Chain A
Amino acid sequence: MKLRKNAFWIALALPGVLWLAVLFIVPIYAVLAIGMGKLDQLIEAPVAVWNPLDWSSSGVINVWRDIFGGAAFAGPIIIRTLVYTVIASLLCLLIGYPAAYFVARFAGRRKALFLVLLIAPFWISYMMRMLAWIDLLSTGGYVNKALGWVGISPVNWLGGSAVTVVLGLVYGYIPYLIMVLYAGLDRIDHAQLEAGRDLGLGRFRTFVYVTLPLSRQPILTGLLITVLPMLGDYYTNQMLSGAASTSMIGNLIQGQLGTPGLEGQGAVLSLMLLLVLLIPMVYYVIATNREASQ
């Protein structure tokens, strides 16, 4: 009886379940099998090893050496990735919070207008947004023209500048952070703010003692939503710089994936990244679930 009652729903869920099993779980396992697999020296192609008992650790050891060894070339890239990501995320928060706070609390009847403008970047392709900045930052572009009016000679923004890459990351990911912050700030109960006011707090102290503590959760999830993609980003700095001096871990993985013989190391590197990001990912899922059930 129970099975029959369930049968209809099982049948509905089954295609999706199978799809995810074959095209999500198996491919992740395939990354593991390649990363722990062997290299066919003859044709320089990785050979997947499906049985965990036969896994070899040579790929992991190679990558470990690349990161921490004497002539490590991956170590500096990882440190650079972390530095860029931390600076860019904090800038996102610094710029995004006041804007989200204003729209959530003070936009009044113009809220819809502000919201449309805040959401607009979501509907514009990331590549188009980067392209727009390339036009502006090019040698004869408007940014350099504007600098020229105040007597500053043209800057080579697109020739491997770390500043450009970090600002590109900020520009690219800030809309996501702002929407999370907006949603969180918009949910804050006005009665709590008024209570603060009634108890004699001024505008500034109401913000510090009431609004800011209540926005801790949105700030955390918002930062996650910018940090996770930034750590896997290879296109922003490839578009805006292209120089090895600004390359990030995403570039390393993407480059190894496209180099015959190095796919295995790319696989190991992306697995390591996944392992590091698993905790924040699960935290994000739990936090958003809790928000949704409130």
Chain B
Amino acid sequence: MTAPAATATESPAPAEPAAGKRRSLLNPWRHPWFLEGFTWLYLIWSLAPIVVAVLFSFNNGKSQSAWQGFSWRWYFSDPVNSVLHDPQLHAAVIQTVRLSVLTTIIAVPLGVAFALGINRWRGAIPATFNFVMILSYVIPELIFGVSMFIAFTTLFSSVHLGTVAEVLGLVTWNVSWPAIVVQARLVTIGRQYEEAAADLGANQFQVARRVLLPLLAPAIFASAVLVFSGVIDDFVIVDLLSSSAGNTPMSVIIYSTQHGGNGGPALNALGSIMLAMSLIIVILGYIGYRLLSRGEGNTGLAALTAISGEN
């Protein structure tokens, strides 16, 4: 029992002395079963409720706790209450996809160019704006949302609350992802490649286009995954900036329908669709990141942490 446990620990286990063969509590290299049990309990607490919620989105009945058979009723079969046929739920799915695509298309190039420029442009202005960008990354979302709401209702009131305001708000909120991820990557790349290219006669544009961009590709891709999935899950900004059923995304629909207590299984179906969307993005992101960064000796773990913003 102790032997496989000892190999499972990361620390190099020394050859155990004969006396250590007994399962001694004093053995400092024994596997921490209590900690492992605790971790599993945490994981079950963390994930089992989601599994139950997804399961009951397939329930052939309104109950959330009594299984009445499998059905697609809440997804598309029910002519009134399914996600497909309820106009509000249907519109919410489309709005989430629309916001994610638009925000990613705008925020990623904006953030990447910003990161490149700020990183090379020396002076007080770029330093200040880099700080402003980081501030936009750490500011609590409610305060940011309040500033957006006030801006779009008083100052820029020609931009009414709705899709345009939502996209402008989401881009501002998410532009820090590519800006931070790309800057971190620039630091690891170092300057030798572009100096070599410059020595060989490349101008700045060619350096950026032919040397930096290919080297940055994994980072840019990872930040696109982060922005896209971030927008799917975003709540505060879209809650404050949406104005009608036509421009309300899924997260806000779940919130506003449920907190009145009117949520039915169709909401579980909506949440499960969100989950499936995020899952597809993560899987595509993982595969794409590994393809783009192959040859760098990256592990799957590195790809995983990169697309979840932990680096």
A178–B147 Cα gap in the complex (Å)? 30
In the bound complex, residues from chain B placing their C-beta under 8 Å from that of A102 are: 32, 35-36, 38-39
Assess A13 versus B113: contact at CB under 8 Å? Given A128-B274, A235-B255, A257-B149.
Answer: yes
The yes or no answer to B17 lying at the interface (CB within 8 A) is: no
Is B110 touching A15 in the complex (CB atoms < 8 A)?
Answer: yes
The yes or no answer to A64 lying at the interface (CB within 8 A) is: no
Number of A residues, CB within 8 Å of B: 107
Provide the B39-64 mask, 1 if CB < 8 A to any CB of A, else 0. Answer: 10011011101101100100000011
In the bound complex, residues from chain B placing their C-beta under 8 Å from that of A254 are: 142, 240
Q: Choose among B50, B140, B146 the residue that contacts A129 (Cβ–Cβ < 8 A).
A: B50
The yes or no answer to A60 lying at the interface (CB within 8 A) is: no
Q: Among the interface residues B31, B45, B259, which one has the most CB atoms of the partner chain A within 10 A?
A: B259
The yes or no answer to B83 lying at the interface (CB within 8 A) is: no
Q: Among the interface residues B110, B131, B139, B240, which one has the most CB atoms of the partner chain A within 10 A?
A: B139
The yes or no answer to B132 lying at the interface (CB within 8 A) is: yes
Assess A124 versus B138: contact at CB under 8 Å? Given A102-B36, A117-B43, A132-B50.
Answer: no
Interface positions, chain B 114-169, Cβ under 8 Å from A, are 114, 116-122, 125-126, 129, 131-136, 138-143, 146-151, 153-155, 168-169
Assess A8 versus B205: contact at CB under 8 Å? Given A34-B150, A109-B8, A257-B146.
Answer: yes
The yes or no answer to A55 lying at the interface (CB within 8 A) is: no
Q: Choose among B28, B146, B272 the residue that contacts A267 (Cβ–Cβ < 8 A).
A: B146
In the bound complex, residues from chain B placing their C-beta under 8 Å from that of A141 are: 64-65
Provide the A95-125 mask, 1 if CB < 8 A to any CB of B, else 0. Answer: 1101101110111111110111111111111
Interface of B toward A, CB cutoff 8 Å: 7-11, 26, 28, 31-32, 35-36, 38-39, 42-43, 45-47, 49-50, 52-53, 56, 63-65, 110-111, 113-114, 116-122, 125-126, 129, 131-136, 138-143, 146-151, 153-155, 168-169, 171-172, 175, 179, 184, 204-205, 208, 229, 232-233, 235-236, 239-240, 250-251, 254-255, 258-259, 261, 263, 267-268, 271-272, 274-275, 278-279, 281-282, 300-301, 304-305, 308, 310
Top 6 A-B residue pairs of the complex, sorted by shortest distance between their CB atoms: A13-B117, A16-B114, A232-B142, A12-B117, A27-B151, A128-B271
